[in-house]
Amino acid sequence: MKKIATIRLCNLIFYGYHGVLAEEKSLGQRFEVDLEYQFDSTAIRNDQLNETISYVDVYNLVNDALTQKTFNLLEMLGNHIVDEIRSRFPVTQVRIRIRKPSVPIPGVLDHVEVEISRGPESE
């Protein structure tokens, strides 16, 4: 029987230069990320790091995407991260939520959030 593990990285905070406006690309801003991934795990039985998908490795991938690259759209940023995770790790499901607290909207709101997910049904 398969053992499915779910790992969640919650409310990661990064400073990046993503957005359509020139000010967003030059001044940058704060981004918040929630990431969840599932995989078949023998680590549940064996307690070995090499039998899991290290959340440190996944964090580093997300950090690089948020701080070393630039995207106009949160959708593209999220899609890039999901695709990178799927290409590097044997995940069965990935879901990312990216929040942008400071948005150029003439109104009051907490944040804008984009969610991208991929799993077996989206193959």
| pLDDT tens digit sequence for 67-84 | 999 999 999 999 999 999
Reply yes or no on whether 100 is catalytic.
yes
pLDDT for 121 equals 67
Against a cut of 0.75, is the pTM above it? yes
DSSP letter, residue 98: E
Q: Based on the number of CB atoms within 10 Å of its own CB, is 93 exposed (0-12), middle (13-18) or buried (19 or more)?
A: middle
Q: Based on the number of CB atoms within 10 Å of its own CB, is 65 exposed (0-12), middle (13-18) or buried (19 or more)?
A: buried
Quickly name the fold that domain 4-122 has. Answer: GTP Cyclohydrolase I, domain 2 (3.30.1130)
Q: Which of 2, 3, 25, 100 is catalytic?
A: 100
